[in-house]
Amino acid sequence: MKAFLILEDGTVFEGTHIGADKEIISEIVFNTSMAGYLEVLTDPSYAGQAVTMTYPLIGNYGICREDMESTKPWLDGFIVRELSRKPSNFRCDISIQDFLFEHDIPGIAGIDTRALTKLLREKGTMNGMITTREYSDLQEVLPRLKAYTTGKVVEKVTCREKYVVEEVTDLSENRPLAGAARFDKEKWLAGKREQRPSLVRELNGKGLHVALMDFGAKANIAKSLAARGCRVTVYPALTSAEEILKDAPDGIMLSNGPGDPKECVSIIQEIKKLYRTDIPIFAICLGHQLMALATGADTYKLKYGHRGGNHPVKDLATGRVYISSQNHGYVVDTEKLDPRVAVPSFCNVNDGTNEGLAYSGKNVFTVQFHPEACPGPQDSGYLFDRFIDMMRRAKAGDQVDAAAVYGARNERMSQTKPSPVTQPATGAGAAQITEGEVR
């Protein structure tokens, strides 16, 4: 069956229908990961968006339900060059086509995703429609596309009531340190799948209690803490600071999540209260942006965002570069950052945008990228250990100044900040698409 992707600038891509048979309007974004499409599908941060995978073949290892980052997919639609309909992987439970259909997610395959990605990089993220209907008059569609907004999606994806993720009490309870990569027919028939290897070698969080604010948290955030021995209580996004503090956590985590951080007005007010305590706080992605807004900084929307598993970030204290997994369309504006409150701790090597903050005189540090990403680069998993160390020191009465190690490097950072990457110019190698043209 034919399917069409219509963008708000009038561009039309023609392809083949995949997944559920429904029409959707969404924000069209792209992800550059070569693998990890299941984690993309089930990442709550994609709520309100339709995702284009730039890697040309998607679905070749199928779907392993054990690897899902939440209980269901949250994106509105899925866009690929080629969809593999016959997966080959001994951990596979279901094909990606059946998974999309099962969860009522529509998609389109067979389009030139390279041209689409170039167009989004050149013009910026746009709204679009995935449909099987062939519109003869685009003016019937374009006003609806331009009017679309993702809205308050955090309230849509957060958990409905608090729950506890129990800590690991013995390293043997974690996944193996190395995978066997061996097919066991009897276990496969019984529905048992080989677990992915764990990198955790020490229960350094044993005895610690972490409060995790769920703004759209990926499952592996709580798992990363529990695997290190922390007991994790997960709270709905609109939980009051008073309720969290009543449970006396040793540390607080602010999770990733979807949408514009400035939409989360009431949440920001509660984060202000948490910030005023001496409890160590570690924030990821949306949580990083919300903490910045709560302390007087500002955020702005990127032209096309950072989404993929190959983004280099530089630790400004050591100069070391890590490869990170990212999924965000907004960033903290360091030009409006008060250095008496916080200083940059990480920057994006590609475009120089902010990737982390350390707060002055506080047990608070935040990052824009995903240290829990799995699969994907796990270079920055040590940040969970840094958070645990901060909690240990706070319990011992040692006040930690998260910004101290970065403050002395502010001047050097400003002198060595990488120049932003310019947007690709039109030309022979760029997508040349006119309004209403079908690709």
Give me the catalytic one of 8, 69, 270, 372.
372
Tell the residue number behind the tokens 């730039």, with chain if given. 54
Query: For this structure, is 39 an active site residue?
Result: no
Rounded distance between C-alpha atoms, residue 45 and residue 100, angstroms: 18
Rounded distance between C-alpha atoms, residue 437 and residue 20, angstroms: 25
Q: What SS3 class is residue 21? A: coil
Give me the catalytic one of 264, 285, 347, 374.
285
Question: 214 vs 70, 218, 243, 355, CA distance in Å?
Answer: 12, 9, 14, 20
Rounded distance between C-alpha atoms, residue 232 and residue 210, angstroms: 5
Q: Please provide the size of the chain in residues.
A: 439
Question: Tell me, what amino acid is at 102?
Answer: E
Rounded distance between C-alpha atoms, residue 297 and residue 317, angstroms: 21
Tell the residue number behind the tokens 């746009």, with chain if given. 126
Judge whether 344 and 316 are in contact, CB under 8 Å.
yes
201 phi/psi in degrees, rounded to 5: -120, 0
Rounded distance between C-alpha atoms, residue 346 and residue 355, angstroms: 5
Give me the catalytic one of 167, 230, 370, 374.
370
Q: Which alpha helices (DSSP H) does 124-164 contain, by range?
A: 142-147, 154-157
Query: For this structure, is 372 an active site residue?
Result: yes
Query: For this structure, is 64 an active site residue?
Result: no
Rounded distance between C-alpha atoms, residue 59 and residue 86, angstroms: 8
**HSE of 114, CA atoms in CB hemisphere, 13 A:** 5
**DSSP-derived secondary structure letter, 193:** -
Signed CA dihedral, 51, 37, 69, 72: sign only? positive
Rounded distance between C-alpha atoms, residue 145 and residue 10, angstroms: 10
Beta bridge partners of 348: 313
**DSSP-derived secondary structure letter, 346:** E
Active site residues: 285, 370, 372
